[in-house]
Amino acid sequence: MNSPFVSISWKRLIEVVLLIWTMEFFNNSSSKVKYWDSFI
């Protein structure tokens, strides 16, 4: 059930999520600190 369409859809979805997350990450300094604290 791994058709090209599904693969492309997942790639697009991941790209969009990463883009949104990156925008939020760089636009909010307080959130940036929070994210790093949760990572480390």
Q: Is 28 inside any structural domain?
A: yes
Answer whether residue 15 shows pLDDT above 90.
Answer: yes
If you average pLDDT over every residue of the chain, what do you get?
78
CA quadruple 10, 16, 17, 18: dihedral, nearest 10:
110
Q: Is 27 inside any structural domain?
A: yes
Per-residue pLDDT band for 19 (boundaries 50, 70, 90) equals: very high
Q: Is 23 inside any structural domain?
A: yes
Q: Is 32 inside any structural domain?
A: yes
Per-residue pLDDT band for 8 (boundaries 50, 70, 90) equals: confident
**Per-residue confidence (pLDDT) for residue 31, from 0 to 100:** 59
Q: Is 19 inside any structural domain?
A: yes
Q: What is the CA radius of gyration of the chain?
A: 14
Q: Is 1 inside any structural domain?
A: no
The pTM of this model reads 0.47
**Per-residue confidence (pLDDT) for residue 14, from 0 to 100:** 93
**Per-residue confidence (pLDDT) for residue 35, from 0 to 100:** 64
Q: What total of structural domains would you count in the chain?
A: 1
Q: Is 3 inside any structural domain?
A: no
Q: Is 16 inside any structural domain?
A: yes
